């Protein structure tokens, strides 16, 4: 919108009346415009807000004409902010060990979960704001877009304040943020060493031992197990992951079993079985199975003695040593899986034949009809269960098809490598190689790129 007076002075208000630009022409008599002249010009154009008084004084005192000058500005509205949560704990836990400058792997700073205490403030809610109103130079009020509030946090093991702005833990334990919800659950914590004075642990949650676990002790946990000190000849079972920050001195009495992963500084004279992966700095005279894989990392990391098994891969810096200690590494399909698949297929075939016989007799109406239907349902359910088990084992076999053993340092004599049913016994030192199955033999390939 534009306004022009009798002197052809122009005031341009733009398309949305958000600023007033004045363009003064010199008076015929040469006299300057007064401040009152300028204010009257703005009043006639309907300009009421955002006037720059100091600028008007300068225009009048310096007789600024024949130029465009913005003399008033409106204020745009400021939209409100949506409500937001501030979490006072780590919502994501990175359990990847840190590689040190010397190439070793530091397991001391690894965490499987975030700890909280009863009554601890775990989250704050910042409410939505209404924003701030704006205005045009002609005085029209501009309303802001209000922010939207979020619903209260959901989950278990915590409560919120009356104003719904603060959230507190209800118990000592671990805190997790999953699918937009908070879960605080119990953690069985042993402050110090776990020994006969304390007793064994059987707990359907996470277990934390801040000290060592002495020989003869037994830990059974439904969740994760974290042990800060050394593990001796103990038995540890977990439904989740196991983190052993100071390693294992098993004395051939330690057994570690988990449905998840095992992460440890080292393992000596221990037996380890993990459904996932096993990660460590070195293995010595241990029987280790990581169904998904085994990773022994670090510049001087090594596998010496014992048996190391995995279906997909074993990756290590060194395997064996200069003393030529007998060491066995096995990857790929194991005899047990191969035998199991063969047996399951045989059982499923037999059940299929029985089901076909029952189905042929279904249309016969006699006093045995109800029993036939019941038997048929039982056989079908039995076949379904076996088919699921067969599928799981076949997936293991598929994983084993590309199985390999990778050495980024040196592999020494007296190391035996088995991939599926093929074997090779190393007779001389070899560096930076990967072993894979080729036909019915184990073949060595020079490493290329990263593992």
Q: What is the mean pLDDT of residues 314-325?
A: 95
CA-angle at 187, arms to 186 and 188, nearest 5°: 115
Nearest alpha carbon to residue 417 among 297, 278, 303, 285: 303
Contact 149, 59 (CB under 8 A): no
Q: Is 254 helix (H, G, I), strand (E, B) or coil?
A: strand
CA-angle at 188, arms to 187 and 191, nearest 5°: 115
Q: What is the mean pLDDT of residues 33-52?
A: 91
Residue 108's pLDDT is 66
- C-alpha distances (whole Å) from 228 to each of 39, 50, 83 are 78, 66, 40
Residues 426 and 415: their CA atoms lie apart, in Å, by: 5
Residue 95's pLDDT is 77
Q: Among 2-16, 337-351, 429-443, whose mean pLDDT is lowest?
A: 2-16
Q: Among 127-141, 149-163, 180-194, 311-325, whose mean pLDDT is lowest?
A: 180-194
Q: What is the mean pLDDT of residues 431-436?
A: 95
In terms of phi and psi (left: phi > 0; alpha: psi -120 to 50; beta: otherwise), the region of 384 is alpha
Q: Among 26-30, 94-98, 177-181, whose mean pLDDT is lowest?
A: 94-98
More confident call, 3 vs 257:
257
pLDDT digits (tens, 9 = 90+) for 96-129: 777 777 777 777 667 777 888 899 999 999 999 9
- pLDDT tier for residue 451 given thresholds of 50, 70 and 90: low
Tokens linked to 406: 């990778």
Nearest alpha carbon to residue 90 among 118, 127, 120, 116: 116
Residue 334's pLDDT is 74
Tokens linked to 185: 């659950």
Contact 147, 79 (CB under 8 A): yes
Residues 125 and 154: their CA atoms lie apart, in Å, by: 13
pLDDT digits (tens, 9 = 90+) for 361-387: 777 666 777 788 888 899 999 999 999
Tokens linked to 301: 């990391």
**Mean of per-residue pLDDT scores for the chain:** 90
More confident call, 193 vs 420:
193
In terms of phi and psi (left: phi > 0; alpha: psi -120 to 50; beta: otherwise), the region of 420 is left
Residue 398's pLDDT is 79
Residues 249 and 229: their CA atoms lie apart, in Å, by: 11
Q: Where are the domains of the chain?
A: 2-73, 84-132+143-183, 204-334+401-446, 335-400
Q: Among 19-28, 285-294, 410-419, whose mean pLDDT is lowest?
A: 19-28
Q: What is the mean pLDDT of residues 327-332?
A: 95
Q: What is the mean pLDDT of residues 438-443?
A: 88
- pLDDT tier for residue 136 given thresholds of 50, 70 and 90: very high
- pTM value is 0.65
Looking at the chain, the whole-number percentage of residues with pLDDT higher than 70 is 98
Residue 186's pLDDT is 82
Who contacts 401 (Cβ-Cβ below 8 Å, separation ≥6)? none
Q: What is the mean pLDDT of residues 126-141?
A: 95
Q: Is the pLDDT of residue 444 over 70?
A: yes
């Amino acid at each position: 919108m534009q306004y022009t007076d009798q002197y052809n002075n122009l005031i341009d208000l733009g398309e949305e009346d958000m600023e007033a630009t004045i363009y003064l022409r010199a008076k015929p008599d040469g006299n300057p415009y007064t401040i009152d002249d300028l204010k009257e010009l703005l009043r006639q154009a309907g300009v009421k807000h955002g006037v720059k008084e100091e600028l008007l004084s300068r225009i009048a005192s310096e007789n600024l004409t024949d130029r465009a000058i913005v003399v008033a500005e409106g204020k745009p509205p400021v939209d409100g902010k949506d409500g937001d949560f501030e979490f006072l704990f780590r919502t994501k836990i990175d359990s990847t060990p840190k590689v040190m400058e010397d190439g070793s792997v530091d397991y001391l700073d690894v965490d499987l979960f975030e700890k909280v205490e009863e009554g601890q403030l775990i989250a704050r809610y910042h409410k939505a704001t209404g924003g701030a109103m704006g205005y045009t130079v002609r005085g029209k009020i501009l309303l802001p877009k209000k922010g939207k509030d979020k619903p209260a946090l959901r989950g278990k093991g915590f409560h919120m304040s009356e104003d719904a702005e603060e959230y507190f833990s209800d118990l000592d334990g671990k805190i997790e943020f999953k699918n937009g919800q908070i879960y605080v659950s119990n953690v069985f914590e042993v402050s110090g060493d776990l020994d006969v004075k304390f007793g064994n642990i059987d707990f359907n949650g996470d277990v934390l031992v801040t000290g060592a676990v002495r020989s003869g002790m037994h830990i059974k946990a439904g969740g994760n197990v974290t042990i800060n000190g050394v593990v001796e000849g103990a038995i540890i079972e977990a439904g989740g992951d196991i983190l052993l920050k100071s390693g294992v001195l098993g004395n051939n009495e330690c057994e570690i079993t988990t449905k998840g992963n095992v992460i440890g500084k080292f393992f000596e004279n221990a037996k380890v079985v993990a459904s996932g992966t096993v990660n460590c700095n070195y293995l010595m005279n241990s029987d280790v199975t990581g169904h998904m894989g085994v990773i022994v990392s670090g510049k001087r990391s090594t596998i010496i003695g014992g048996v190391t098994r995995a279906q997909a891969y074993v990756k290590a810096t060194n395997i064996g040593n200069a003393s030529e200690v007998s060491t066995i590494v096995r990857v790929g399909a194991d005899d047990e899986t191969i035998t199991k698949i063969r047996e399951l297929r045989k059982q499923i075939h037999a059940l299929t034949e029985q089901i076909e016989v029952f189905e042929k007799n279904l249309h016969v109406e006699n006093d045995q009809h109800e029993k036939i239907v019941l038997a048929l349902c039982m056989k079908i359910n039995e076949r379904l269960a076996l088919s699921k088990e067969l599928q799981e084992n076949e997936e293991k076999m598929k994983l084993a098809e590309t199985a390999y053993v990778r050495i980024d340092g040196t592999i020494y004599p007296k190391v035996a490598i088995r991939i599926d049913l093929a074997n090779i016994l190393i007779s001389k030192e070899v560096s930076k190689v990967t072993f894979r199955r080729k036909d019915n033999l184990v073949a060595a390939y020079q490493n290329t790129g990263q593992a």
